[in-house]
Structure 1
Amino acid sequence: MIARLWHGTTRLDRADAYAAFLGDRAMPDYRGTPGNLGAQVLRRDEGEVAHFVTVSYWEDENAIRAFAGDDLLKAKYYPEDEGFLLEFEPQVVHYEVRSAG
């Protein structure tokens, strides 16, 4: 199993709306991809900025390709992200899951 982590930031005054967008648009996209084993959104507020991390779990690299394309480490963005994100990090991080509880 592969864990895929993405990080993004928004202004704190846009954070609740972005969290709703992730729940309504991004999470169904993740979870609707064959080979996705689950996904979560994490949020941490820091001053006037909110940090978001998505953690998604995948059967294998082929499942990630079906979601994000052939460049496995390239971050996937939605058109709506333009109205929320402070910057667009170009890559995600992958980890091999060694244990789960």
Structure 2
Amino acid sequence: MIARIWHGKISIESVDVYTDFLKHVAIPDYQKTVGFKGLTFLRQVRNGEVHFNLITFWENLEVIKNFAGQDFEKAKYYPEDNNFLLEFEEKVQHYEVFASVQLL
């Protein structure tokens, strides 16, 4: 399994609207990709900004390419992100998952 990690940053004034967008548009988009295994969305308020870290889990790199395109290390953005994000990081990170425990 592969973990794909993205980071984004928005103004604190947009946190509720952007969180709602992520829940109702971005997450369903991930879920419809065959080979998608799950995700964890994290957010943290720091210095008047809200930082998001998205960790998605995928069967393999080929599945990620089906979602993100052949340049799978490039971050995928939605048109709506232009209304919220303070910067657009070009790349995401990928890690092989060798162990996972969830107790939620």
Classify the TM-score, shorter chain: over 0.9
Which residue does the alignment assign to 1:61?
61
Residue 32 (structure 2) pairs with residue 32 (structure 1) = yes
Residue-by-residue CA offset, 1:42-96 (whole Å, 9 max, x unaligned): 1000121000011100000111011100001000000000000000000000010
SS for the counterpart of 2:22 is: helix
Structure 1: which amino acid aligns with 2:94?
A: H
* Distance (Å, rounded) in 2 between the aligned partners of 1:18 and 1:95: 26
Conserved? CA contact 1:31–1:39, under 8 Å:
no
Q: What is the match of residue 93 of structure 1?
A: 93
Q: Which runs of 4+ in 1 moved over 3 A?
A: none
Q: Percent identity?
A: 48
TM-score by length of 2: 0.95
Amino acid at match of 1:28: P
Q: Residue 7 of structure 1 aligns with which residue?
A: 7
Q: Where does structure 2 lack aligned partners over 5 or more consecutive residues? A: none
Equivalent residue, structure 2, for 1:71: 71
Q: Aligned residues, how many?
A: 101
Contact 1:8 1:53 in 2 (8 A): yes
What's the offset of the Cα at 1:16?
A: 1.4
